[in-house]
Structure 1
Amino acid sequence: MFKLCKLAYQKEDQRCYMISYECHKAKEDRKLDTGSCAQIVMRNKNLGIEEYRFLLRTMVSSGIGEETYCPKNVIEGREESATLMDAISEMDGIIFDTLDKLFDTTGVSPSEIDIIVSSVSLFSPAPSLTARVINRYKMREDIKAFNLSGMGCSASVVAIDLVRQLFKTYKNSLAIVVSTESMGPNWYSGKEKSMMLSNILFRTGGCSMLLTNNKALKHKALLELTCVVRTHIGSNDEAYGSCIQVEDDLGHKGFRLTKDLPKSGAKALTMNLRVLLPKVLPISEMFRYKISYYRNKIMKRPTPRAAGPGLDLKSGIDHFCVHPGGRAIIDEVGKSLALNDYDLEPARMALYRFGNTSSGGLWYVLGYMEAKKRLKKGDTILMISLGAGFKCNNCVWKVMKDLEDTNVWKDCIDHYPPNNLANPFSEKFDWINDESMNFARREDYLL
């Protein structure tokens, strides 16, 4: 009886509800289509025709559409000379915009917030970003503030897990999590292909969330956090270096994405799901899988290498919120988990409309599901995030009520998914695949 009571108490002690979340949509003058992106790339005088062809080929096949957003200093042609004020202005624009909306929609006063966590990997000013928030909204002097940096695209789940752990100590509390990335000062100006990819994939975006462990606010909650599993394989040298901020041979700072990235991601995801899935799938499904596994082993049949194949994930999970890090990442996760086009549609559409917004990306995917009215009371959502380190941080949410808010997708959700995701500039840039152009002058092909 004592053990049962202790287990029940621990479960009550781990409550974590999401009251609301708000994603950032930049101003119209920050929109970046493929043509504009190509013009920005051409300002880099270090590039030759081969590098230019590589970037254009990546642009038209990236799965990113024509309405993503770019930092102001890059739009204005100052990507190689960003100032501290450019970085601060970019963060203020995203963080304050989402928090203003969050406080307005929930009716919660900034003075009621007990915990605040920011997750921005590439910018850590002094005073901190949370200090800027506290100063802007005149929050209480006893607020608990935390700043996470260097955590990569999976930082949002790390921040949520931190709040969940803090909730064990601070009862009946309200917490704010802010997840975004500093893009403007981190534009790569060199010509190393593995480092140029970040210029193509990453875009401006972010999200703020309001969480609580107060049971009295449960009726206001959108989601309840039921499980978090974090996996870190940074002890492996290949995984550690597969997604890393470095300087090239000429001293240009940037983010290197190596060929080991897909393998590292698959390894981390497999290890994570081996721990997470037994916590969320029915016992009957796990039992069936074990029987099948040992039968194949006895009969010397090949067994699935990943955690997903062979398991019916949909027996315990209704929706899959995959990090929109790139078309290849989404496709690989879908393949390893045997997900169909319907399951991957939210991630693909978030990538197409907003690009890779780093740690804020998961919430654009969630917003798409909500805007499409897919999320019904009692449904479960698996969030899958991958990030530098190398890390795989996943969590499972339970939907507390039917969700139908169109949120950041309000002006375009009726047009999604589009009939054709092909980049409209594919034909215009068809010369990039012509091998006879290897020795052409780039000046002949300026836009």
Structure 2
Amino acid sequence: MTRTGAGARLAGVGTAVPDTTYTQRELLDLLAVTDPRVRSVFLNSAIERRGLTLPDPAPDGSPVVESQGELLRKHTRQGLQLGRTAIENCLADAGARLSDVRYLCCVTSTGFLTPGFSALLIKELGIDVSCSRLDVVGMGCNAGLNALNAVDGWARAHPGELALLVCVEVCSAAYVFDATMRTSVVNSLFGDGAAAVAVTTAGAARETPLAPTLLGFSSRIIPEAADAMRYDWDDRQGKFSFWLDPQIPYVVGAHAPGALDRLLHDTGLLPSDIAHWVVHSGGKKVVDSVRINLGLTRHDVRHTTGVLRDHGNLSSGSFLFSYQRLAAEGRARPGDVGVLMTMGPGSTIEMALARW
């Protein structure tokens, strides 16, 4: 669906990852993984290093098992630290101040807390108490674009005021290590990180000629794949546990062209008109499936694969890490059109259309 009226633009972006990072081999050693099948999953993931918040090994060198309560506390503690840093970096990039923030939307899927990150970050950062806020919890990797749709609507309804979207994902607070293939795929993939983007129609931040304007959004739900990505309770472990169906990369890829058709409907644009692609770094198989089904080149998804290599799957904030790399590259030109794309539980594909 394309928007009418004054367009909201992405005025700045900022990210944050933990200080502690691990290569895939280091993680296998830390977790004492010897199963060759599990080791193969880790070492063939196209991921070189990830930021994670993990406990030190026990005195005998064995991995420490965290309780659900410890994981939730880590989600809150580390999430606040990462979220704060991402917001500060975003505002610096936008040339804005904390006092400019009038709307804060926080996204997370790696823990549950009330009050949510929006209230905690307003308190932590000293943002004006009249700031409007929204928490989007539990939607998964696609949620960054779902939330950006809401933030875009708020910014259009409040011309000249600054809105912030921040995705806070402490994926190491959603891990279950039990040596099964079910959990090994998840444990081989996700990393901790936060990403924030400033959205405004005009005036609240410095004018940035190459800041893209959001033109519209599209969603495509795949009901028959509703159970393909789940974060639910594991009675055996006494924790929440994430599960990915091995077929999900191919399901998402097969439905990607339909989502793009919907996005471009009535715009007069063709897929060949898209100059820039900002795709969620969901995993090697997911990215390859999307690339093949949409007819993209490896160059088109270079930032997606770069983020996957350097950070793993950062869940809802992954696409903003890719967007940050595109912005820093400086190759976008006035009039260029780009697509932002995320995929996640539902199963769902979210897209946004932007013009520089």
Structure 1: gaps (5+ residues): 1-9, 44-48, 286-312, 400-447
Note the alpha carbon deviations across 1:81-130, whole angstroms, 9 max, x for none. 33543222210121011112233343422222111100101223122111
Q: Which residue number corresponds to residue 324 of structure 2?
A: 367
Find the partner of 1:208 among 196, 221, 227. Answer: 196
Q: Which residue number corresponds to residue 45 of structure 2?
A: 62
Q: Distance in 2 between matches of 1:255 and 1:179?
A: 18
Aligned pairs (5 A) from 1:304-383: 313-314=271-272, 316-383=273-340
Task: Answer yes or no: is 1:256 the counterpart of 2:249.
Answer: no
Shift of 1:346: 1.8
Aligned pairs (5 A) from 1:67-146: 67-73=49-55, 77-81=63-67, 82-146=70-134
Q: Distance in 1 between matches of 2:246 and 2:93?
A: 44
Structure 1 stretch 337-346 or stretch 199-208: which is displaced more? 337-346
Q: Distance in 1 between matches of 2:204 and 2:241?
A: 47
Q: Distance in 1 between matches of 2:214 and 2:285?
A: 28
Aligned pairs (5 A) from 1:269-284: 269-282=256-269
Q: Which residue number corresponds to residue 428 of structure 1?
A: none
Computed over aligned residues only, the root mean square deviation of the Cα atoms, in angstroms, reads 2.4
Shift of 1:279: 4.2
Q: Which residue number corresponds to residue 12 of structure 1?
A: 5
Q: Distance in 2 between matches of 1:249 and 1:84?
A: 17
Q: CA distance change for structure 1 residues 152 and 263 in 2, over 3 Å: closer, same or farther?
A: same
Note the alpha carbon deviations across 1:327-356, whole angstroms, 9 max, x for none. 101110111011112112221111111111
Note the alpha carbon deviations across 1:195-241, whole angstroms, 9 max, x for none. 321111001122111111236758336221112112223xx2x4110
TM-score (norm 2): 0.89
Q: Distance in 1 between matches of 2:57 and 2:213?
A: 39
8 A Cα contact 2:278 2:323, kept in partner: yes
**What is the identity, as a one-letter code, of the residue corresponding to 1:324?**
S
Shift of 1:376: 2.4
8 A Cα contact 2:13 2:91, kept in partner: no
Higher strand share: 2
8 A Cα contact 1:80 1:189, kept in partner: no
Q: Distance in 2 between matches of 1:241 and 1:334?
A: 24
Aligned pairs (5 A) from 1:163-242: 163-214=151-202, 219-220=207-208, 222-233=211-222, 236=223, 238-242=224-228
Find the partner of 2:27 among 19, 37, 49. Answer: 37
**What is the identity, as a one-letter code, of the residue corresponding to 1:25?**
V
Structure 2: gaps (5+ residues): none
Shift of 1:189: 2.2
SS of 2:31's partner is helix
Note the alpha carbon deviations across 1:156-177, whole angstroms, 9 max, x for none. 1111101122234333321010
Alignment length (residue pairs)? 346
**What is the identity, as a one-letter code, of the residue corresponding to 1:11?**
T
Q: CA distance change for structure 1 residues 75 and 209 in 2, over 3 Å: closer, same or farther?
A: farther
Note the alpha carbon deviations across 1:48-90, whole angstroms, 9 max, x for none. x6xx22221011111001x321114378854533354322221
TM-score (norm 1): 0.72
Q: Distance in 2 between matches of 1:397 and 1:133?
A: 28
Higher helix share: 1
Which has the larger Rg? 1
Shift of 1:272: 1.5
Note the alpha carbon deviations across 1:336-385, whole angstroms, 9 max, x for none. 01111211222111111111111111122222323333222322211111
Quote the sequence identity (%).
18
Q: CA distance change for structure 1 residues 279 and 317 in 2, over 3 Å: closer, same or farther?
A: farther
